[in-house]
Structure 1
Amino acid sequence: MQFVSRLPSILLLGVVYVAFVLAGGAVFWRLEGGLVEQNLVRLREEKSRLLQRLSCLDIQSLEEVGQLIRSASKYGLSLKSNSTSDGFWKFTSSSIFAATVVTTIGYGNISPGTMYGQIFCVFFALVGIPLNVVVLNKVGKYMLSIERKFCHFIEQKTNRKKCVRVFIHSLSFATLAVLYFVAPVMIFQQYEGWSYAEAVYYCFITLSTIGFGDYVADNDPDRYYPEWYAFIMGAWIFFGLAWLALLINHCIDLLEGFNGYLKEKREGTASMSQGSQPDETQAPEKSIK
């Protein structure tokens, strides 16, 4: 009976979810579909010009060149400088790859190529993903506990509890947003050569564990990265994920609280409407008196 009573809300939530996804797909289709067609036309024209300029290059040779470029990109080899990127299967890059596995970011720029590496990746992810969820949850709760203790300490010194609470939460959000979004954006702009919008896009795609892989830090073989760069990036990913998970949990709590408020309001309105109806069994007695 409880499942049946909750069924309409579940259906409504499912309809909203499907509608949201389809609406997003329609927006992406309108925004990106035309650009794809333009790029295809441009690439066909460039391919024709290349074949005309290099008369000794036929279609098969062009496919071999394309395969060489894809393989070089996969293993971090720069065709311009003939140098390899430090971000491919060194200890630091392997550690970053392990972090992207357990955090489910999965950029896709590098992946295990050996059979034993692929098998180990499966078992490593089976253990590492739940462990990562537990650790991030603990770290997020610890961060929230520190914030609450500091808030409680300030509340004891003042009499305006609500104002202090709002101010502390706002200050904490602004500070962590600067630490995990503004500062990394500046670093990525300097060492990756990205624009501000590209750096912000990369930060969010990484910390939300979407991980498209179209932008990957510490991955360009034609750029120099300092030794501390990979370690800073790993720490940023870990603590940034904990902060974003905490922020998402706050949003979930707010939505659930708002849903509970609407439910209580509907139940209160229904009970008031039922109480306002006259009692037909007592009406004749009042008329007789």
Structure 2
Amino acid sequence: MRLIVPGCCSDPRALPYIRLLVVAGLMALYLSLGASVFQAIEGPLEREMEDHIEKTKMEFLNNHPCVSEGDLEALLDEVIKASNRGVSASKNVTSGPNWSFGQSLFFSSTVVTTIGYGHVTPLSKPGKLFCMVYALLGIPLTLVLLSALVERLLLPATALLRTLNAALGHLYRPFTIRLVHLMIIVTTFVVFFILVPAAIFASLEPEWDFLDSLYYCFISLTTIGLGDYIPGDSPEQPYRPLYKVATTLYLITGLTFLMLTLTVFYDIPQLNLSTVFSSMKLDEDPEKMRLSGSAGPGYGMGGLVMRDHYDQRRSVVHIRPHQDDSPSPEDTTPVHARDIRLQ
């Protein structure tokens, strides 16, 4: 028996849209909360810096009465414009040109990976046109490359899941084993692509502490790319082109492992929230649809489906039974006895 509340939509197909509206409202609330917190934290510091700049300008004008305030403002405007384009007006910056091969390679990588720091940008019209065409072709190519790399990395990830199942399958439920597997992948990503690189950047960058380096790694690998911290741009930076190339390799490798982590995460049906907003029937089991291949060839509910190119078969991880698992009402076969395929 199903209780129908008057005034509420009784059509099950409308439920995903209702959930979508709820999440959209929560997102708006979350953005408003973030704006309020940033305003409260950063606002006083901004006003303090404005007062300091104004005080410094007045001291300069008092010490140099031959310079007018208008001339000083015009000079500062030109310096700010040049700085926003990646050109420094300081004589102390001798780390090399912004468009050396290493720096240009670094810029190209930030374009095709959509990180887009914005500290160095094309100045000429032909450069801007080429940048658009380059990004139009380079972004899909980068996605294809990252997807291919992730698919190969799924082979050892699946082997790890088999090993965990063999060792823990008689003690824990399949969902618990998958959580352990996910935690190992996440820990590997955080240690080797966040913490260790942050320590390296902190030792190489003279003005960065560990928090600054940690902030840079997170902002870059999540493709936010604010551009407030850029490696290799400090004055007298040794081996700057090589440093930029090494950073480019780090970004591509880190993005690949991040995609692997997300793929493993979305492969767990209980954690894949995308099914909440799906228009499928409520009585359809997403896991059964994925296993039956109805979600489309080559892809599952969680993204990539790993195929073993050596025998052209899907890799299957058999989960051992556990006494706490219960059979599905639509299927007499116990859930823990089914084949769980890692996408």
TM-score in terms of structure 1 length: 0.78
Structure 1 residues 250 and 169, CA, compared in 2 at 3 Å: closer, same or farther?
A: closer
Q: Distance in 2 between matches of 1:26 and 1:157?
A: 49
Q: Which piece of structure 1 moves more, 73-82 or 119-128? A: 73-82
Structure 1 residues 152 and 249, CA, compared in 2 at 3 Å: closer, same or farther?
A: closer
Superposed CA offset, 1:131-160 (max 9, x none): 222322332333233211233246447765
Q: Distance in 2 between matches of 1:226 and 1:211?
A: 20
How do residues 95-114 of structure 1 correspond to structure 2 at under 5 angstroms?
Answer: 95-114=105-124
Q: Distance in 2 between matches of 1:5 and 1:259?
A: 9
CA shift, 1:181, in A, is 1.2
Superposed CA offset, 1:192-228 (max 9, x none): 1201111111111111111111111112233324553
* Secondary structure at 1:111 match in 2: coil
* Secondary structure at 1:88 match in 2: coil
Q: Given the alignment, which residue of 139, 148, 156 partners 2:158?
A: 148
8 Å CA contact 2:161, 2:181 repeated in 1: yes
Partner of 1:274: none
CA shift, 1:76, in A, is 4.2
Structure 1 residues 158 and 35, CA, compared in 2 at 3 Å: closer, same or farther?
A: closer
Structure 1 residues 177 and 53, CA, compared in 2 at 3 Å: closer, same or farther?
A: same
State whether structure 2 residue 17 is matched by structure 1 residue 41: no
Structure having the larger proportion of residues in helix: 1
Superposed CA offset, 1:89-129 (max 9, x none): 11111111111011111111111111111111111111112
Structure 1 residues 160 and 257, CA, compared in 2 at 3 Å: closer, same or farther?
A: farther
Partner of 1:271: none
Q: Distance in 2 between matches of 1:10 and 1:209?
A: 25
8 Å CA contact 2:112, 2:139 repeated in 1: yes
**AA matched with 2:221:** L
Partner of 2:212: 198
Structure 1 residues 30 and 189, CA, compared in 2 at 3 Å: closer, same or farther?
A: same
Whichever of the two has the greater Rg, that structure is 1
CA shift, 1:43, in A, is 1.4
**AA matched with 1:256:** L
Partner of 1:223: 237
Q: Distance in 2 between matches of 1:87 and 1:242?
A: 30
- Indicate the RMSD between aligned Cα atoms, in angstroms: 2.9
Q: Distance in 2 between matches of 1:184 and 1:225?
A: 18
Partner of 2:92: 81
How do residues 20-35 of structure 1 correspond to structure 2 at under 5 angstroms?
Answer: 20-35=30-45
8 Å CA contact 1:86, 1:221 repeated in 2: no
Question: Structure 1: which 5+ runs fail to align?
Answer: 265-289
8 Å CA contact 2:189, 2:258 repeated in 1: no
Question: What count of residue pairs does the alignment treat as equivalent?
Answer: 261
Q: Distance in 1 between matches of 2:125 and 2:157?
A: 46
Q: Given the alignment, which residue of 58, 64, 67 partners 1:54?
A: 64
Partner of 1:214: 228
Q: Distance in 1 between matches of 2:256 and 2:249?
A: 11
Partner of 2:192: 179
Q: Distance in 2 between matches of 1:61 and 1:79?
A: 18
Q: Distance in 1 between matches of 2:245 and 2:228?
A: 21
Question: Structure 2: which 5+ runs fail to align?
Answer: 1-10, 284-343
**AA matched with 1:178:** V
Partner of 2:136: 126
State whether structure 2 residue 245 is matched by structure 1 residue 234: no
Partner of 1:117: 127
**AA matched with 2:91:** K
* Secondary structure at 1:214 match in 2: coil
TM-score in terms of structure 2 length: 0.67
Same amino acid, percent of matched pairs: 27
Structure 1 residues 249 and 157, CA, compared in 2 at 3 Å: closer, same or farther?
A: closer
8 Å CA contact 2:197, 2:217 repeated in 1: yes
CA shift, 1:39, in A, is 1.5
Structure 1 residues 247 and 22, CA, compared in 2 at 3 Å: closer, same or farther?
A: farther
